[in-house]
Amino acid sequence: MQQKRLEKITSVVSKRRNDITVVLEDIHDPHNAAAILRTCDGLGIQNVYFIFEKEKAFNPKRVGKASSSSANKWLDFKIFNSTLSCFKTLKHEGYTIIATALTPTAEGLDNASFTEEKIALLVGNEHAGLSQKAINAADRVIQIPMAGFVQSYNVSVSAAIILWDIVGKRKTKPLSRIEQKKLVENFSKR
């Protein structure tokens, strides 16, 4: 492997984090998912979980090369066919589950703090949002305060705004040296 490529991989890996996982529940348009993947890569978020309970499943490694700028090549994915099975895995992995939803009791992003050890941010379908079972089972529900006439942003824009806010409010928690070494080896093969 070329030294320049190894240096780039090592630099990127040093900024990766696994304390935030993004969960996409029943995303319909793969291009929206690809835009979210690009945001994840740009913010150093390594893990993205997909739930395909109602929508037709697609392979996140094979979609949106133009809209994701091939970010999907550098991220790790888990695919679930049930929201509840995904939540069970997240809880087992120690995540606090934060749903994004337009509900009367949702916490405004502007007042939210994100001090939990590990966060799983749930983003829902472009048309229907998150399922009610996802909202009910989440530990917290947040929403972006809106100042205009529209009620919400596009799903990829919402995910980017919220993730930027979460990352900005949290102390950077880099991967351990062992995790970094494994990821450098993994990236070297991609």
Which pLDDT tens digit goes with each residue over 129-144? 999 999 999 999 999 9
Strand order, beta sheet including 96-100 = 76-80, 45-51, 17-25, 119-123, 96-100, 140-143, 107-108
State residue 169 phi and psi, 5-degree precision: -90, -10
Instruction: Specify the pLDDT at position 168.
Output: 95
**What average pLDDT does the chain have?**
94
Mean pLDDT calculated for residue range 95-121: 96
Mean pLDDT calculated for residue range 167-171: 92
Which pLDDT tens digit goes with each residue over 55-91? 999 999 887 655 556 888 999 999 999 999 999 999 9
**Long-range Cβ contact pairs of 111-118 (< 8 A, separation 24 or more):** 112/142, 112/165, 112/169, 113/169, 114/166, 114/169, 114/170, 115/170, 117/19, 118/18, 118/19, 118/20, 118/21, 118/93, 118/94
Q: Rounded to two decimals, what is the model's pTM?
A: 0.93
Considering the chain, what percentage of its residues have pLDDT values greater than 90?
Answer: 88
Q: In the chain, what are the domains? A: 19-185 (3.40.1280.10)
Which pLDDT tens digit goes with each residue over 28-59? 999 999 999 999 999 999 999 999 999 999 99
Q: Is 70 left (phi over 0), alpha (psi -120 to 50) or beta?
A: left
Question: Quick one: tokens of 169?
Answer: 């409010």
* b/e map 46-68, b = 16+ CB within 10 Å: bbbbbbbbebeebebeebbeebb
CA distance 171 to 182: 23
Mean pLDDT calculated for residue range 119-128: 96
Instruction: Specify the pLDDT at position 169.
Output: 95
Of 182, 145, 148, 136, nearest to 165 by C-alpha is: 145
